[in-house]
Structure 1
Amino acid sequence: MEIIDSLKEFLTVDNLLEILESYKSFGPLPGFLLVVLEAFLPFLPLIVIVMANAAAFGLWMGFLISWSGAVVGAAIVFLLVSKLKKYKWVQKQLQKESVRKTLSWIERHGFGPIFFMLCFPFTPSFLINVVAGLSKVTFYQFFLALTAGKMVMIFTISYIGYDIVSFIKAPIKTAIALTIMLVLWYIGKKVELRLQLSGEK
């Protein structure tokens, strides 16, 4: 836990900008790989990484780097998890009533809830990817929801990160941005709770 906490403290926008500057000879690759890595290590601060990419590479390039990295990372997690379903120890977990009900809810609604949950930066995207991979949702359905949902979420964060200096200097902009982030956090928590309650029902 101490290592994770130390890593979180180290990964600030300023520190990431220094890292990206140090490895600028590799172009957008470091920024892309950081976002891909976050799909496997959800404790990494995705918002900070996306902001740093936007600040380092510009709004549109930073957005494309982060979006493509997020999509690739989530798709790999989905495919890996879907391959694990054939193993007995995974099948045993899938037989649990709460798990079966959650998977059933995801399977019935398909694209909609996956897209909606992935739109918000504070929903547990790693968990969503894993649950979708364990369900009978097709990769095509998941990929459509993933690309669309991450597009909304990543662009919102990239926009703030790209113009972060003006957000710091302008109190009104900062207040609006914080309000939006709090609203997104609240909605994300409500969606997460709804998913849990639906699974219990």
Structure 2
Amino acid sequence: MSEWFTVENLEHITEQYQALGPIIGFLLPFIEAFLPFLPLVVFVVVNASAYGLWFGFLLSWLGSVAGSYAVFLLVRHFGKHPKLRFVTGSKRVEKLIKWVDMNGISPLFVLLCFPFTPSVIVNVVAGLSHIYKKFYLIVLLAGKFVMILGMSVLGYDLRALLTSPKKLIIAAVAIVVLWWVGKLLEKRLNARVERDLKQARKLTKNHQR
């Protein structure tokens, strides 16, 4: 296994990937928006390594934004269908919808900047909320720009990354930190959602008296 996992073999795989054409570099991040268990980080790094930092970043960015916006539009159009209630009707999603309607798009932008936050939930919640389509597109473009550019910069020089222990350690630490910050942000956001909704319910009860 270790004999196969060499820089030369990985560069050969990257060359074969590049030969498939840039449409693959666009499609993989696009598909990931529908299948979030796929490794977006890997797609971004491979695109940057195969097509260069800026063109690879552009393919990943546009593919991810297009896929996420397609999910948003599909949820906006079909989200109320009874057959989709198992996705859109969960208590967590309903709470987030109410909270987003109360607080606007800024929290969504922050979540989209981190690669390990559940972007599919963000897209579903945005689709079911009252956010204007053009505003959410702007949020996607900005949030995904920050996230994917950061990942592209980390992984675009695959040879240097794999042959330099220092760079490899820095990249690994950066990924762990991003994961940790994303999970911490998600936890704090959930707590804030609960707090704000409780306050809103109290205000509603007071007005009804």
2:14 maps to 17
Report the alpha carbon displacement of residue 84 of structure 1 after superposing the two structures with TM.
1.6
Report the alpha carbon displacement of residue 93 of structure 1 after superposing the two structures with TM.
7.8
Q: Does 1:170 align with 2:160?
A: no
Equivalent runs, 1:24-103 vs 2, <5 Å: 27-88=21-82, 98-103=92-97
Gaps of 5+ in 2: 1-8, 196-209
Q: Does 1:159 align with 2:153?
A: yes
Q: Would the aligned equivalents of 1:120 and 1:188 in 2 still touch at CA under 8 Å?
A: yes
* Equivalences, count: 186
Moved over 4 A (4+): 88-98
Task: Return the TM-score normalized by structure 1.
Answer: 0.82
Corresponding letter in the other structure for 2:110: F
Q: Would the aligned equivalents of 1:99 and 1:199 in 2 still touch at CA under 8 Å?
A: no
Q: Would the aligned equivalents of 1:102 and 1:200 in 2 still touch at CA under 8 Å?
A: no
Name the CA distance, whole Å, in 2 between partners of 1:163 and 1:145: 29
RMSD after superposition: 2.4
Name the CA distance, whole Å, in 1 between partners of 2:161 and 2:142: 26
Name the CA distance, whole Å, in 2 between partners of 1:76 and 1:165: 35
Tell me the secondary structure at the aligned position of residue 44 of structure 2. Answer: helix
Report the alpha carbon displacement of residue 173 of structure 1 after superposing the two structures with TM.
2.0
Report the alpha carbon displacement of residue 160 of structure 1 after superposing the two structures with TM.
1.8
Corresponding letter in the other structure for 1:102: L
- The 1:97/1:61 distance shift into structure 2, 3 A limit, reads closer
Measured against aligned partners, the alpha-carbon deviations of 1:142-183 in whole angstroms (never above 9, x if no partner) come to 111110110011111111221122122222222222222111
Q: Would the aligned equivalents of 1:102 and 1:198 in 2 still touch at CA under 8 Å?
A: no
Name the CA distance, whole Å, in 2 between partners of 1:172 and 1:147: 32
Identity of aligned residues (%): 45
- The 1:43/1:16 distance shift into structure 2, 3 A limit, reads farther
